[in-house]
Amino acid sequence: MWRLSASEVYGRHGIPGASLSPDGSTLAYTWVRERRAEEDHEGKRIKETAVGDVFLLPTATTIADAGAYPRQLTNSGDVSQPVVWAPDGELLLVERQGQLQLVRAAGTQASRPSKPVVLHSGNLFRPSVAPGATHLGGPRFSPDGRWVLAAVREAPETTLMLLGTDGRSRRSLLSVEGYLVSWDWSPDGRRVVAVTQGEDAHTGDVRLVDIQSASGDGGESRVLWQETAYAYSKPFAVFVPGSGPSGGRIVFRSNRSGWSKLYSASGAGDDVQPLTTGAWDDDAIRFSPDGQQIIFSSRAAQEGTGDDLWVMPSAGGTPQRLTRQRGVHHPIGWSPEGRIFYWHASPTDPGDVWSIAAPRVHGAHSVDGAQQSPEATEARRLTWSAPAELTRKLRAPEEVTFGSPGGTPVSALVYLPAYHDDQQDDGGGRYPPIVWIRGGPTSFSRFTFSAYPQWLANEGFVVITPNYRGSTGHGVEFMEAVAGEGVGKHDLQDVLAAAEHVKTLPWADLSRGVGIGGHSWGGYLTLMAVTQAPDVFSCAAAGAAISDWTVQQAQTEVRWYDRWLVGGWLYERDAHARDRSPFTHAERLKTPLLVLHGERDTDVPFAQIGPFVERAKKSGAPVEYVTFPNEGHGNRLPKNQQEYLNRMRTWFRRHLQPWNFRDNPTSGQLP
């Protein structure tokens, strides 16, 4: 009844993005119902497809009656990316099976094309950015609607293409070795601001491109400034729309203060001014229709790991909090009628579209001079994308902090089974604890939907997932503490501190000890924990784990990232790399260990795990080793996803939960 299925854990369904029509009358959103993967006839390759379509929702109806029935625009089931409205509101840009197409929106003039117009086929590139900034790394219409900016990837270069909406005109605008992160048009359509990322994945620059002729060659680009710490949060840059006092200025997100903050610069890249300050992260911006105000997400007033939407003048001023919902928020658009649309997700909701009335802000006050009341507006939910069968199995985690040898408080999320009842006389029950370590290390366990730790909790455990040093969301200094001397040390100290903290929780049943597990970087820290602190944990499970930095850095597809983590190339840091490799210490293993790895993993190369297992078995500790022949860094085939979960479930139940002869026998009684 409460068990999450493999499709619910790995589903990745929902609404990846939405776009508001220029007149604010219609919301276009992509709804991905499922993602499929299947092997070819020879079992050598895996083909992945997303089953999704575009829907149109009239906003005028939703304002008066939230929950209006949307109209389905496509029925091919092959759309997985957000769509973009043309400036005239008659056409939409849709990405389908590698093609960028122009599609006429329902109900628009019959004179516009009724059949899709293909602007580009193959190698379309979308950078990996924060969900709230996906529109800045996707196709963008020019202000007059005649051209579209889109990125194409042909390794080692990424090219920003200028595509005519007639389906015939095209030219290269900017090519860089590495990647593009975001791009945007100036209000007059004569310039483009683009953010690049170098091959080292950690640095890049902001460039201004002058478009001399839309039909000929040319267009000059120059670097406005450089950016660093891309592993923390990728920068982006946009022009302020409109012709007001701030129109044509550039607003950008940067990590230069040690946090992700917003800044403003002139259209020439000088006169840089901070728009937001403080020891927290701000990102994901949109503008009011006249460009006079900015709506953005910020962690400023959230006690935990969520954020809220805030509004401020684009020329600078005092931000005003707009939403008061636990979870994460990303602005979508601001209608001329004064309604703000946004995407909101929480641990019990994978993510849907909401709306709220925009405050009448001028500086720090409303237009009539009175302070706007934060409670004066009410948020309304417009979509319900997740099945009720899934959401009823979810429970919001507890947010906790605890001390660590590093001296900086460590945040964590604690998951209990969805069926846990706090009102019971015994406190709702007690469960064996597991320290689950998410991947990264430069990522963030937030107060939002995360199926895996909830799945593990619903199997009868209390699960703690810490934001160890190396995580984002706590400032660049906290993140960079994992690199160099800190790799496999500072992050491991925080993981061990999480194990001590979970023992103090009232829901923890310590009769059989504490378990530990993780995937990717979580797998690496699991192996480090059981070889560096072999007496702490009762059992461990490591998926796609780094075990030997020599093999890892030599064969991985992300060697520049791994160079940053180790603090240099192997020939420079050989002794250090060997010391921080679980392989070096494998014979110290005392903890029963489950190892799972895809044989085609190029992120954490498969070649390193076999030698580790052979050396670990010499310790005499029980080691179970499972490989997946046709999988890479993460399991894609449903049968492998199910086996991965089954192996994890059986392993943790066998070693942590009380034995019985029905469904949790001793190892000697297993079939």
DSSP secondary structure, 457-523, as one string:
HHTT-EEEEE--BTBSSS-HHHHHTTSGGGTTTHHHHHHHHHHHHHHTSTTB--TT--EEEEETHHH
Residue 131's pLDDT band, with cuts at 50, 70 and 90, is low
Mean pLDDT confidence for 99-107: 85
Query: Tokens standing for 185?
Result: 């048009």
Mean pLDDT confidence for 322-340: 93
Cis peptide before 359 (omega within 30 of 0): no
Q: Are 603 and 5 in contact (CB under 8 A)?
A: no
pLDDT of residue 337: 87
Question: What span, in angstroms and rounded, lies between the C-alpha atoms of 517 and 547?
Answer: 14
Mean pLDDT confidence for 167-196: 93
pLDDT of residue 65: 53
Quick check: is 117 in a domain?
A: no
Quick check: is 125 in a domain?
A: no
Listed range (136-150, 238-252, 346-360, 569-583) with the worst mean pLDDT: 238-252
More confident residue, 593 or 64: 593
Residue 107's pLDDT band, with cuts at 50, 70 and 90, is low
Is this prediction's pTM over 0.85? yes
Judged against a pLDDT cut of 90, whether residue 221 lies above it is answered with no
E-strand stretches of 199-292 = 204-210, 220-227, 236-239, 250-254, 261-265, 273-274, 282-287
Mean pLDDT confidence for 121-147: 86
pLDDT of residue 669: 41
Residue that has been written with the tokens 């039909």 in this structure: 215
Quick check: is 532 in a domain?
A: yes
Quick check: is 536 in a domain?
A: yes
pLDDT digits (tens, 9 = 90+) for 627-656: 999 899 999 899 999 999 999 999 999 999
Strand order, beta sheet including 623-628 = 398-402, 410-415, 462-466, 433-437, 515-519, 539-543, 593-598, 623-628
| Percentage of residues of the chain with pLDDT beyond 70 | 90
Residue 305 vs residues 219, 300, 328, 400, 491: alpha-carbon distances, Å: 43, 10, 8, 10, 19
More confident residue, 14 or 606: 606
CB neighbour class for 646 (10 Å; exposed up to 12, middle 13-18, buried from 19): exposed
pLDDT of residue 367: 31
Q: Are 121 and 107 in contact (CB under 8 A)?
A: no
Q: What is the 3-state secondary structure (H, E, C) of 165-189?
A: CCCCCEEEEEEEECEEEEEEECCCC
More confident residue, 406 or 337: 337
Question: What span, in angstroms and rounded, lies between the C-alpha atoms of 322 and 342?
Answer: 11
Residue 217's pLDDT band, with cuts at 50, 70 and 90, is low
Quick check: is 553 in a domain?
A: yes
Strand order, beta sheet including 91-96 = 84-85, 91-96, 99-104, 117-121
pLDDT digits (tens, 9 = 90+) for 380-422: 999 999 989 999 999 999 999 999 987 789 999 999 999 998 7
Mean pLDDT confidence for 556-565: 91
Residues 6+ apart with CB under 8 A from 349: 327, 386, 391, 449
pLDDT of residue 302: 84
Query: Tokens standing for 429?
Result: 């029950």
Mean pLDDT confidence for 283-306: 92
Domain containing 504 equals 397-669
Mean pLDDT confidence for 534-557: 95
The strand pair at 147-154 and 157-164 is best described as: antiparallel
Average pLDDT along the chain: 88
Give backbone dihedrals phi and psi of 88, rounded to 5 degrees, phi first: -85, -5
Quick check: is 240 in a domain?
A: no
Question: What span, in angstroms and rounded, lies between the C-alpha atoms of 341 and 357?
Answer: 9
pLDDT of residue 450: 94
Nearest to 492 by CA among 585, 379, 595: 585
Listed range (346-360, 470-484, 577-591, 600-614) with the worst mean pLDDT: 346-360
Our count of domains for the chain comes to: 1
CB neighbour class for 415 (10 Å; exposed up to 12, middle 13-18, buried from 19): buried
Mean pLDDT confidence for 290-301: 93
pLDDT of residue 245: 65
Mean pLDDT confidence for 474-486: 95
Quick check: is 595 in a domain?
A: yes
Residue 670's pLDDT band, with cuts at 50, 70 and 90, is very low
pLDDT of residue 654: 93
pLDDT of residue 665: 62
The strand pair at 433-437 and 273-274 is best described as: unpaired
Mean pLDDT confidence for 315-339: 93
Q: How many helices (H) and strands (E) does the chain have?
A: 12, 39
pLDDT digits (tens, 9 = 90+) for 566-595: 999 988 999 999 999 999 999 999 999 999
Judged against a pLDDT cut of 70, whether residue 61 lies above it is answered with no
The H or E element spanning position 233 is none
Judged against a pLDDT cut of 60, whether residue 668 lies above it is answered with no
Quick check: is 118 in a domain?
A: no
Mean pLDDT confidence for 354-381: 60
Question: What span, in angstroms and rounded, lies between the C-alpha atoms of 637 and 634?
Answer: 10
Question: What span, in angstroms and rounded, lies between the C-alpha atoms of 163 and 190?
Answer: 15
Question: What span, in angstroms and rounded, lies between the C-alpha atoms of 474 and 491?
Answer: 14
Mean pLDDT confidence for 211-227: 73
Instruction: CATH number of the domain at 544, please.
Output: 3.40.50.1820
Listed range (53-67, 274-288, 582-596) with the worst mean pLDDT: 53-67
